[in-house]
Structures are given as C-alpha cells and as structure tokens.
Structure 1
Amino acid sequence: MSSTPVPDRPCCGGFAPAVLRPAELTAFSRGGGARTIPLVTRAVGAEVFLTGQTLFEGGAGIPLHTHNCPESVTILEGDAIVEIDGTEHHVTRFDTTYVAAGTPHRFRNASDTAPMRILWIYASVDATRTLVETGVTARVDAEHTKPTGTTS
C-alpha cells in the first residue's frame, strides 16, 4: 500500500506576517496599577491564539480569575508571585507558567517599587476571563478599550 504525502498547509487563514513593537503600541488599563499591551489579536488578523504583555507597577496585582482556554505566561522583567489553584510560587525573569482552562490563578508584582512585565499567550482567540470573586466573565480582548495614554 502506498501513501501519498499530504502537502504542508497552514492551520488557519490569512494572518499576514507582522512585526509588533510594544513600545509603539497603546497600553490599556486593567486597573490596580496593571496595564496591558495587546500584540497578536484579531485586530492584526489572529485567528487561533492571543498574545500580549501586561505591565505591573510596584505592588500591583490582578484578581483571581479563570479562563476558558489554556494560558502560558513568561516573566519578562522583575519578580512575581503567581497563585495557581491555591498555591503561590515565586517566579522571576524568563520563568514560564502553564495554566489549564478553568484553573484559578493570579499574578502580582513581588516588589513594591520595581516594575514587573509578563508575556501572556492564550490558546484561543476567543479567550475569556472569569473573575472568581464576582463570577463576571468577559472576553480578554474586551479589556483593550481603556487606553492609559502611555506605552511600555
């Protein structure tokens, strides 16, 4: 029995190549001293996953939440405390987390003064965030509507 090779085909449609420069993009407030810079999103043609950066001022953190898809986060700058499913971990530059869909987690800056920056990747362009405290669910890309007026 002979097999015919399957030609290489992209997994998705027409996302044009792009170079995204966070220092030149708009940052959006997440409240509490955190702001997000969206990178690979529907706005630039993403059809499969989302990426971006969140910058934390000294002492800033985000509330405990879950997502409808897996998430990976890499610390780009500073030190953080990440809580995953009730367990806290100290993470530093280039440490990377993986959090399965539905797992409660949050990040906070371990320093009261130095900035902290993360790179996040969601396994779905339709990623949502559900706040544990309130049960409110919103699309991750919906938070990209309140500019802070500053970048990086």
Structure 2
Amino acid sequence: MIGTNESRKAVVLRPSDLPRHDRGGGASTTPLVGPSCGASAFINGITSFGPGTEIPFHSHNCEESVMLLEGDAMLDIEGQESLRLQPLDTTWLPPNLSHRFRNLSNTQAMKILWIYARIDATRTLTESGQTNFVSAEHNKK
C-alpha cells in the first residue's frame, strides 16, 4: 500500500501473464499500466514487431516516450528515415508529430516499451486521419 490512502496500492505487472493484442501486420501489444490498475496520469505497454514489421505513420495527442528493449529499429519522423535505435535507446516525442517505428531485421523480432503522458491518449493515422483511443485498440478481438 502507498501512503495513507487505502484505495491506492502498488501493482506489479508481469507481461507474460497479460493478454496480447494483435495490431495486424506483424505487431502485437501488451498493455501494462493504465486505469485498470489505478493509473490516472499515464499509460504504458510493450509492442512486439515481427521480422520486417513496420507500423503506419501516426501521431498522438500527448507526449510519448519509447525505449527499444530488443532488436534493431528505425524511428521515422514526418515521413523521413530519421534515427536508427539500439537496445535501451529512449526517445521523447512531442504531441502531434507524425512518426513510426520499423523493425530493420528480416529474421529477428523487435520490442519497444511505450509510455503516453495521458490515460486518454489517442493515435491518429497520418494517411487517413482516423483517430482512436489507444486503450480502445486493446479491447478489440
């Protein structure tokens, strides 16, 4: 328990015990911290990319930080190849910046830890303008 507030408790989350959500195209996400465990200011999770997988360009309504946990990745910004990442490299992205992550390996998986600065974070696809709450994507079957 944290402090004197009886309703707030610390939580340990084990990704191997949590559901993974297929994002299509070789990417899957495991949501971690969020409102369901008591978070009120941010959400985070892990996204795995199969060999050669890239996600579409998109932006968010809040700041985002991403750490490359494993693999060989490229961060593309505003439609341009930008930064090659090594494991444990950590990014900070401002709101409304179009970006994507790509797995540069055709044989090995890649994995990122992402953190959004709002529990109501959205993802807007650059090409179509379609916007969804990140949390709603995790409830799709």
The alignment status of 1:24 with 2:13, answered yes or no, reads no
Deviation per CA, 1:5-53, whole angstroms, max 9, x where unpaired?
Answer: xxxx9xxxx5421000111111001111000000001121211000100
In 2, are the aligned partners of 1:15 and 1:44 still within 8 Å (CA)?
Answer: no
2:127 paired with 1:133: yes
Query: Structure 1 residues 15, 83: closer, same or farther in 2, change over 3 A?
Result: farther
Distance, in Å, in 1 between the alignment partners of 2:94 and 2:81 is: 14
Give the structure, 1 or 2, with the largest relative contact order (CA under 8 Å, sep 6 or more).
Answer: 1
**3-state DSSP of counterpart to 2:19:** coil
- In the TM superposition, structure 1's runs of 4+ consecutive aligned residues that sit over 4 Å from their partners are none
Selected match of 1:91 from 81, 85, 93: 85
- Name the TM-score, length of structure 2 as normaliser: 0.91
Contact 2:42 2:115 (8 Å CA) reproduced: yes
Secondary structure, aligned partner of 2:136: helix
SS in 1 for 2:135: helix
Q: Deviations over 1:49-74 (max 9, x none)?
A: 00100000001111000000000000
Alignment RMSD (CA, Å): 1.4
Structure 1 unaligned regions, length at least 5: 1-8, 148-152
Q: Unmatched 5+ residue regions in structure 2?
A: none
Query: Are 2:98 and 1:104 equivalent residues in the alignment?
Result: yes
Check if 1:143 corresponds to 2:127: no
Aligned partner of 2:129: which letter?
Answer: G
Equivalent position of 1:35 in the other structure? 28
Equivalences for residues 39-58 of structure 1 within 5 A: 39-58=32-51
Cα distance between partner residues in 2 of 1:94 and 1:33:
22
Larger Cα-atom Rg: 1
Work out the number of aligned pairs and report it.
135
Displacement of 1:123 in angstroms is: 0.5
Separation in 2, partners of 1:16, 1:54: 26
Alpha-carbon distance between aligned partners in 2 of 1:104 and 1:68, rounded to the nearest angstrom: 11
2: CA distance between counterparts of 1:61 and 1:87? Answer: 12
* Residue in structure 2 matching 1:63, options 35, 52, 56: 56
